[in-house]
Amino acid sequence: MADYCIKRRVELSYEEAEKRVRETLSEEGFGILTEIDVKATLKKKLNRDFRRYIILGACNPPYAYRALSAEPDIGVFLPCNVLVYENEDGTTTISAMDPVEAMKALGNELLDELAREVKERIVRAIDRVK
């Protein structure tokens, strides 16, 4: 099975990891368009307790524009979801969809190239969370 996400566990608190993810994504040209607090949502909708877990909808406008210009339906993959969630041992996991894997099914060389560039930026951002 192919890896569908870029994933890293860090020795940071949830709060610090989330803060650093936002900073490093910004440094790579990504803004946060959406935020879903999964813990709060599950509590509200199901009255269930869950770990701290946020889904950040990250977007790099120049790449999004190029992708949408090449394939209007590519919007179903946007924005790029980046997860930050706490682990039981006090560490935090950062995970993001691998755009290269996501684009493989489309067979569009332009999108394949864009996906490689976006992946490089996401990997750099995640790797700098320390």
| pTM above threshold 0.85 | yes
41 CB-near residues (< 8 Å, 6+ apart): none
pLDDT in tens, the chain (130 residues): 458 999 999 999 999 999 999 999 999 999 999 999 999 999 999 999 999 999 999 999 999 999 999 999 999 999 999 999 999 999 999 999 999 999 988 889 999 999 999 999 999 999 999 9
Q: What share of the chain is helix, strand, coil (3-state, %, to 5)?
A: 50, 25, 25
Domain boundaries along the sequence of the chain = 5-127
Give backbone dihedrals phi and psi of 45, rounded to 5 degrees, phi first.
-85, -35
Please write the tens of the pLDDT for every residue from 84-113: 999 999 999 999 999 999 998 888 999 999
In CATH terms, the superfamily for domain 5-127 is TT1751-like domain (3.30.310.70)
Q: What is the maximal distance between C-alpha atoms in the chain? A: 45
d(CA 98, CA 79): 12
Q: Cis peptide before 79, with omega less than 30 degrees from 0?
A: yes
